[in-house]
Amino acid sequence: MAETETTLTTCKYNSSTPADIAWNTIATAVPTYIDVKGRDGSKVIFLVASGSTVPNAGSTWYIGTSDTATTGTSFIASYSARKLGRLKIKQPKYVKAKAQSKFRSSGTTKLYVVSALGPFETARFKDTDGFIYLTKAKLGTTVAYVAAILLP
C-alpha cells in the first residue's frame, strides 16, 4: 500500500478570499502525510470525515511519525519526542438526524461526520523530512476523507 500526500490548504488572515479545502480519500491502514516543511506545523488542523452511522462505533485515527496503523513502532526520521508515540484519536459514531451527521458521501447514501483534529505539537508528530502522518485504523467505514488546513 502506497502512502498518499494530502494537500495543505493555507488560510489567509482577515482575507475576503476563501481557502478552498482539498479533500483526500484515504483507505484503512493506508497512511497519508502532510508536508509542513518551511511552515509552522503547530498551526495545522485536520478535518476528517468518515461514516457516522455504520455498525462499528466510529473510526480511529493515528497521528505521528509512523506510517503504519498497527504498532506505531516504524518511526521515520523522527524528531526528539517521537518516543512518546503516536496519538490515537477516536472519531465518534452518531445516529441519523443528529447535527453531526448531515453530510453524505458522493454517490452513496451513507451519512458522514466531519471532525476537526489538532493542532499538534511538532516535536512529537513531525518527522525530519517535514511530514506529519495520519493513518486510519480499521473501524467505521473503510474509506474516509481528510483535509489539512494551515491556520494563519
Task: For residue 106, name the pLDDT band (cuts at 50, 70, 90).
Answer: low
Rg (CA), the chain: 15
For β-strands 143-150 and 8-10, DSSP reports them as: parallel
More confident residue, 59 or 35: 35
| Beta-carbon contacts of residue 56 (< 8 Å; ≥ 6 apart) | 93, 139, 140
- Asked if residue 37 lies in contact with residue 104, where contact means CB atoms within 8 angstroms, the answer is no
Q: What is the pTM of this model?
A: 0.78
Tell me what percent of the residues of the chain surpass a pLDDT of 90. Answer: 12
- Residue 4 has a pLDDT of 85
